[in-house]
Structure 1
Amino acid sequence: MISMRSPLRIALVCLHTSPGTDPGSGDAGGMNVVVRHQAERLAALGHRVTILTRRSAADQPESQQLAEGLTLRFLAAGPARALSKGTHENYIDEFSDRLNALEPVDIIHSHHWFSGMAALPVARNWGVPHVQSFHSIAADDASPLSAGERAESPGRMRGEARLARESDALVAISAAEAATISGRLGGSASRTNIVLPGVDSNLFSPKRQPAGSAVDRGYAVVAARLQPLKGLDLAIQAIAALPAGLRPDLVVAGDASVDYSGYVEELHQLAERAGLSGIRFVGPQSHAHLAELFRGARLVLVPSHSETYGLVALEAAASGVPVVASAAGGLREAVVDGITGLVLESREPRVWADAMAQILSDPTLARELSLAARKHALGLDWNRSAASLVRVYRGLLDEATEARQHHRAVA
């Protein structure tokens, strides 16, 4: 039996993307940020944490120490190079075999369905609980969300439904994701736990003076993986629709994955057709550089078709920058409409331009949103997020202990 004071041995499985990679690189996004920060805080609480991911480059070491008590391990499954995201389904079994050959842990927490399909049989073989986080969930072709959420590989919908049924616990990052797990996958509400993300409010912090003014056009930021799901086209068209005297530059932070290698050029062409000259593509940014970029921005735009939460919106809030976001999934929770930013149902560029104009032309409104955004973000931190995870883990281990004791009593 593991006592409440005993440190846990925790495996966090991220098959297709490494939490050691900067957000916006390839397929590295909000999931990577969540896993990395939660892992760091779990280790700081005294637990032994291992992040397991697929080797995607020949020069990656077998393991890498990220912090005291926190190790990143690269498992050989498929070619040691970057792959298109959907291709990873072909290497689930191989990754599972590599995982199963490792020393057992107390609990396995899988992130994304590839990871869950590899880790669930290993957890069963080791006799330990399996926790599943999805981070995104496929929509079938009949779904009204299908334009933004096409299934990425043939077995995804079946795999996600199986994981929702068979995992010992499910972790959602927002109430919106919890509802999707229940409604789309049939996941049990009693086994679904909402664990909100956090933000480093020391790193992501405001400028001493509010960014910009009514006469300083400054810049707006959109930070995301460069793929259609993230709605970069809407950001470009909306900025272009602003009056020239009010229009900020647009800074695009992020890069395209293997799946969307031609998408960056499409965005350049769209900006040229829209007559938007004030646009800069700065590539993926480290957290420190992203924080600096946000700190100087007048607005952060999150025009995604779908987000389970929208961590960028929370990081912008901590930076004291108003957010204009689409009413997609968890963004309704990350942004408090009319208080910390504006949440828009429409995807019409003109509507977005009008919303941005409200903030850009009214320094008082911009300051009110900035102060409220910072206050909102201060209520969320990674320590609280990690502590919530530990409660989920401990609860499962207690249940397993009680079940074993009951079995022995009746045997």
Structure 2
Amino acid sequence: MTSPPRSTVTAPVASVPPELHGRLRVLHLGFEDPLMPGAGGGSVRTHQINRRLAAGGFSVTVLTTTYPGAEERIQDGVRYVPVGFGQGRNRLTRLLGYVARLPFEARRRRGEADLVVEDFFAPFSSMAAPLWSGRPTIGVVQWLHAGDKARQYKVPVHWLERFGVRSHSRMIAVSQGTADKLALLNPAARVEVVGNGIDRNSLDREPELGDNVLFVGRLELKPKGIDLLLAAWTAAAPQLGAKLILAGTGPDHERIEQLINSLGLSESVELVGWVSGEAKRDLVRSARLVVVPSRHETFGLVAVEALAGGTPAIIFDIPGLREVVPRDCGWMVRPFDVQALAAELVQRYPDGSTLLAAGRRGQAFARQFDWDVQADRQAAIYRSALSARTGG
């Protein structure tokens, strides 16, 4: 079996005094609700970890942005509280409402929390929660791309990111590449790595050889590299006679539809909307190849889910993806090279025996990514942080 990637290994945590082994109260500043249409992989990670912590006796409250239809609820033992103004009908109003209300809402609940956990989020990563939370605070870093947003919107949000990272003394990164970036921004911080996980049900079937090429993710044209994928598909599709399936929702849905039509791909590309749970697992298993064309990723959860389903992945050779797709389980392409991506599709698609062999190796590799293990690691870091605070 392939040795575990660095992204799944966390540094040893300190021993924990007996008084901290009991019920811990966690206030999680989670930003995105996993039930919100178009929610990304970050909210999935937050919920998968927290539901296991709740099952283990933790009390977990997650503050998220509001959105149409959002309500306070308890899901799998985790309390979700939407924060903002109005109904949050678009990304901007959700973001502004969350940023404006979060410090007040968090301080109002700090008497009910032993530990505050801040998820980093776009566009500036951190709100520097340790400076105002009033409780020991850990940053969970699934997103660290403010520099890209600064270039895109011509607004210096990367300075806010740097300030926020430097406000934290302890952080959890989802990949080693992200941990290395955090160490450059804040050398004094303790950064531990806890990767994402997969549902064990993903591993219960033999790989099969499907017909479609699949993309799964948020429909964001540039960050997710969908423009690059469609350009490559324009060259590859006539040689493959296959269909490209785009699964997901997001802010660029209409732009992507327009691009598909302008490239003459309406017959070979299908948008199927948001998928989750067993429907998502079935879609991955039934694909011949999964393509992850992102321009940046902190942790390639979709790639790991593809390997777990026995479907090889084609990725760009970037941090956050190369850590989770070994060379014998998929194929790496020179970053953002459309012609190379098209050539890889044409080469790999017809080779059924190689695809099945890679699928079996991918499933074996993916077994090490287990939500239960990752939740235990994260819980140990939480307890260690409180132990250090109390002098244990």
Normalised to the residue count of structure 2, the TM-score between the two structures is 0.87
Pick aligned residue for 2:325 from 327, 330, 335: 335
Q: What residue in structure 2 maps to residue 101 of structure 1?
A: 108
Pick aligned residue for 1:211 from 209, 212, 216: 209
TM-superposition CA deviations, 1:369-408 (whole Å, max 9, x none) = 10111011111100111111112111111111118xxxxx
Q: Distance in 2 between matches of 1:268 and 1:384?
A: 41
User: Is the aligned partner of 1:252 residue 2:246?
Assistant: yes
Q: What residue in structure 2 maps to residue 20 of structure 1?
A: 35
Q: What residue in structure 2 maps to residue 374 of structure 1?
A: 363
Q: Distance in 2 between matches of 1:352 and 1:256?
A: 24
User: Is the aligned partner of 1:240 residue 2:229?
Assistant: no
TM-superposition CA deviations, 1:111-165 (whole Å, max 9, x none) = 1257842743442x2xx2111123222354xxxxx4x874669563233222222
Q: Secondary structure at the match of 2:323?
A: helix
User: Is the aligned partner of 1:42 residue 2:53?
Assistant: yes
**Aligned residue identity for 1:46:** G
**Aligned residue identity for 2:127:** M
Q: Secondary structure at the match of 1:331?
A: coil
Q: Secondary structure at the match of 2:319?
A: coil
Mapping for residues 294-373 of structure 1, pairs under 5 Å: 294-337=284-327, 339-373=328-362
Pair 158,151 (structure 1): closer, same or farther in 2 beyond 3 Å: farther
Q: Which runs of 5+ in 1 are unaligned?
A: 141-145, 213-217, 404-411
Query: How many angstroms does 1:346 deviate by?
Result: 3.9
Q: Secondary structure at the match of 2:209?
A: coil
Q: Distance in 2 between matches of 1:153 and 1:350?
A: 30
User: Is the aligned partner of 1:82 residue 2:72?
Assistant: no
Query: How many angstroms does 1:78 deviate by?
Result: 2.5
- Given that 1:221 and 1:300 are in contact with CA atoms closer than 8 Å, whether structure 2 keeps it comes out as yes
Q: What residue in structure 2 maps to residue 110 of structure 1?
A: 118
TM-superposition CA deviations, 1:55-93 (whole Å, max 9, x none) = 222x433x211123x211122x23322332587256423
Q: What residue in structure 2 maps to residue 291 of structure 1?
A: 281
Q: Secondary structure at the match of 1:291?
A: helix
Query: How many angstroms does 1:295 deviate by?
Result: 0.9
Q: Distance in 2 between matches of 1:211 and 1:107?
A: 47
- Given that 2:125 and 2:146 are in contact with CA atoms closer than 8 Å, whether structure 1 keeps it comes out as no
Q: Secondary structure at the match of 1:255?
A: coil
Pair 276,346 (structure 1): closer, same or farther in 2 beyond 3 Å: farther
RMSD: 2.5
Q: Secondary structure at the match of 2:80?
A: strand
Q: Distance in 1 between matches of 2:335 and 2:319?
A: 14
**Aligned residue identity for 1:53:** T
Q: Which runs of 5+ in 2 are unaligned?
A: 1-16
Query: How many angstroms does 1:237 deviate by?
Result: 2.2
Count of residues paired in the alignment? 372
Quick one: percent identity of the two aligned structures? 25
**Aligned residue identity for 1:67:** D
Pair 201,239 (structure 1): closer, same or farther in 2 beyond 3 Å: farther
**Aligned residue identity for 1:109:** V
Q: What residue in structure 2 maps to residue 400 of structure 1?
A: 389
